[in-house]
Structure 1
């Protein structure tokens, strides 16, 4: 039977891999095309042939999403370290930061463009990190690890 640490490690690695793949897809890292300076109006989202939903974001919105994703990944790394070191103060601060997000006005514009399931997933993740922050000072470390995973 896998230990809690192994389970936690697999969960974090899976989350990081998923975020990394999404980051690459959103940045167009494999694209050699330069972005046009004038962009014709496009739908906010359209379904691709393979079933994925393409969401059109401005350069500023894409930069915001990248920054948020990097901050989230850094937060996951910090929270993982805090749990491993039983540093409740660092865990509390990190979980609070993740639960709040940047809160910038551009985020509202992006939320209007993304599909409802994506918004719901984002809200759930933030809610769960808020619950982790609430538990950080008093819950046993094992319970904190379960909440984090």
Structure 2
């Protein structure tokens, strides 16, 4: 099976890939700190829309996992919504399973008596989820969204800690 890991992949290690995808061929969209490749793991640069479309056509992925920027609590990277839209647009007519792993941001709101109810991050997170669901309905993609508590990358060993998946 061909699997693409894209988005906030900074926490991914070779050990995690071997555990999560023991029999699959995995492609990671290149980011700063991406693990080194091997025979079952390829690293590709998908910095622009043409590279993304070419990679999706070349590998014909069975599954795509999009890791949201809001999985890590202090992520300073923007463009999550745009990157997700480009990815969904590129796979819209393909037989691909899409998994979006999102952080808890979409549930964050201010107290009911506050002047403003939503945070800007919660609005963007919900917009990402709605965009994924829109493409799933419109183009009959098989898509699932998982909300996960924040991930923390600890030290140089890059271990992932996650208490529960909701």
Question: Do they superpose with TM above 0.5?
Answer: no
The structure with higher relative contact order (CA 8 Å, sep 6+) is: 1
Larger radius of gyration: 1
Normalised by the size of structure 2, how large is the TM-score? 0.26
- Structure number having the greater strand percentage: 2
- Structure number having the greater helix percentage: 1
